[in-house]
Amino acid sequence: MASSLIRGKHVVCKVHDRTRAEIIEDGAVYQEDGRIVAVGPHAELARRYRPDETLGSPHHVVIPGFVNSHHHVGLTPLQLGSPDHPLELWFASRMAARDVDPYLDALYSAFEMIESGITTVQHLHGRCPGPAERIQGAAQAVIRAYEAIGMRVSYSFGIRDQNRLVYEADDAFVARLPADIAPDVEALLRRQAIPLADNFRIFENLAATYRGSERVRIQLAPANLHWCSDRALEGVRDACAAHGVPFHMHVVETQYQKEYARRRTGTTAVAHLHRLGLLGPHCTIGHGVWLTEADIDLVAETGTRICHNCSSNLRLRSGVAALNRFERKGIPVAIGIDEAGINDDRDMLQEMRLVLRMHRVPGMDDQVPTAPQVLRMATEHGAATTPFGDAIGTLEPGKAADLSILSWQQIAAPYLDADVPVIDAIVQRGRSAGVETVVVAGEPILRDGKFTRVDKAAVLEELATALRRPRTEEETRRQELSRRVFPHVKAFYEGYVPDEAPDPFYRTSGRF
């Protein structure tokens, strides 16, 4: 039986609400075999238990592990040559990306996530060419990477059965392309297409493979309304009910998606999902930038969750989500770093600070994000979007021992006024450089800044070596095709959104 006592000057166990949290001064967490047995004053726990080892010290702070609730890839699109276009154009520019080994790629971002205190990731996998066997192989390579490094993962492969490049049927779009690129675009889109039933087969196979795994869960991810037919969405609804798993779906990330929903359904994307019976606590809406007031009410009434992807919304010019409205309605909101944060990496502490600052609208009321609120978003609320649910996200007896040990020196030296609340200090001053040890299921996977299971330098070298080779013929063809189809994708959206569409960024103060 492996046990440890993790001590800190402050142990942050759980956030209760926007202002209150349970923090134990000179506290400790005692865990056995990955499960928390007790939390309390260090002196008392040290007397009561005989742990195999002690982690942390009076110069550290202990917090629950973060959950990155929306993640896709390792090397960022920018690293792979795709600049920050508006989302719809970015889909076209991303076609040019090189093929990267999925195992090494997943490890690359896992390094960044763990180094910033993330212990669980919601990995939403997409853009893998078929057939289903190949996708399943890539899925297992990704999961193997998380297993190798020791991170907890909720994995899903994005379901798409239509409209792969723009917000209309593939055939219709291809039919309007010039003859010299149409066949190549058609072939590329066809390679990505797999029968709808295969999507569910991939889910079921993976769910069976990882049943009983401590750190791996499989869930569903209908990629977005435009990518999914109603038949696909109904399939997701039924599979979730049959398997008792949640799902995560990009919804109204941009104004173009809002308009697409109106044209397709005559209402909003959220109202349509509700009509199909998909909303509820098992549903997480990724982004939700362009939700209407009525949508927000419906999300709140149904207990649906939202994942706030703040950096991504800025980088791809999607807009600013109405976080303050969500909070006022009591909607549980998680944080997702999506492809990458504003530093083009996966730093949760940085992302939390962006969320804290982004929504500070003018005025003196108490309606802007608070540090405890943001911490809860990054922990407990994130956890609830995954099949791990309330087994993770807070430090309480019976829960998984997933936590980070941060240097209090890094946060508080050379001086920090004693009146500064602990969580405010962590959220505003914590840096990934101060994240010393990260524990998942009781096991330190990062100890004193070093990965315990994987040789980071060797992996990075392997990744660099793999990409040092010249582009393959196929990669070059895709790069050229991306460049040539780009203006046609842009032309598709000219006049797509009516001029009078309100802009959530500028509309009214207090909106976000």
Q: For Zn ion, which is the closer residue by CB, 112 or 338?
A: 338
Stretch that binds Zn ion, among 160-168, 336-344, 345-353, 358-366 (CB under 5 A): 336-344
CB of 266 to Zn ion, least distance (A): 26
CA distances from 480 to 23, 172, 173, 381, 475 (A): 56, 22, 18, 42, 9
Report, in Å, the least distance between residue 287 CB and Zn ion: 7
Q: Does 351 bind Zn ion (CB under 5 A)?
A: no
Query: What's the CA gap between 428 and 411, in Å, rounded?
Result: 9
The token duo for 30 is 């005692």
CB atoms within 10 A of CB 491: 11
d(CA 68, CA 153): 10
Which residue, 84 or 338, has its beta carbon nearer to Zn ion? 338
252: number of Cβ within 10 Å: 28
**Residue whose CB is less far from Zn ion, 338 or 443:** 338
Using the contact rule CB under 5 A, the part of the chain among 172-180, 267-275, 338-346, 462-470 near Zn ion is: 338-346
DSSP state of 20: -
Structure-token pair, residue 38:
């007790």
Q: How far is the CB of 334 from Zn ion (least distance, A)?
A: 13
Q: Cβ distance 35 to 51 under 8 Å?
A: no
Please identify, using beta-carbon distances, which residue of 158 and 430 lies nearer to Zn ion. Answer: 158
Show the site string, 292-331: x = touches Zn ion by CB under 5 A, - = not: ----------------------------------------
Give the whole-angstrom CA distance, residue 30 versus residue 245. 30
Nearest to 256 by CA among 271, 272, 269, 247: 269
- Cβ nearer to Zn ion, comparing 13 with 228: 228
Q: For Zn ion, which is the closer residue by CB, 256 or 451?
A: 256
User: CB 124 → Zn ion: shortest distance, Å?
Assistant: 6
Per CB under 5 A, the list member of 259, 295, 338, 436 interacting with Zn ion is 338
Near Zn ion by CB under 5 A, which window of 129-137, 293-301, 337-345, 488-496? 337-345
Q: Min. distance of Cβ 346 from Zn ion in angstroms? A: 13
Do the Cβ atoms of 369 and 424 come closer than 8 Å? no
Query: What's the min distance (Å) between Cβ of 265 and Zn ion?
Result: 21
**DSSP track, 110-175:** HHHHHHTTEEEEEEEE----S-HHHHHHHHHHHHHHHHHHT-EEEEEEEE--S-SSSSS-HHHHHH
Q: How far is the CB of 97 from Zn ion (least distance, A)?
A: 15
Burial 132-160 (b: 16+ CB within 10 A, else e): beebbebbbebbebbbbbbbbbbbbbbbb
At position 475, the amino acid (one-letter code) is: E
The site for Zn ion, by CB under 5 A, has a size of 1
* Min dist. Cβ of residue 223 to Zn ion (A): 9
User: Which CB sits closer to Zn ion, 9 or 305?
Assistant: 305
Instruction: Name the residue number minimizing CB distance to Zn ion.
Output: 338
Q: Choose between 253 and 402: whose C-beta lies nearer to Zn ion.
A: 253
- Residue 94 or 447 having the CB closest to Zn ion: 94
**Token pair 């549903």 is at which residue?**
283
Question: Which is nearer to Zn ion, 338 or 436 (by Cβ)?
Answer: 338
CB-nearer residue toward Zn ion: 71 or 152? 71
Residue 286 C-beta: closest distance to Zn ion, Å: 6
Reading phi first (left if > 0) and then psi (alpha if -120 to 50, else beta), residue 410 is in: alpha
Q: In whole angstroms, how close is the CB of 87 to Zn ion at the nearest point?
A: 9
Q: Which region, judged by CB under 5 A, interacts with Zn ion, from 227-235, 271-279, 334-342, 401-409? A: 334-342
Residue 414: asked if its preceding bond is cis (omega within 30°), the reply is yes
* Alpha-carbon span 344 to 24, nearest angstrom: 35
Least distance CB 73 / Zn ion (angstroms): 10
Name the site residues for Zn ion (rule: CB under 5 A).
338
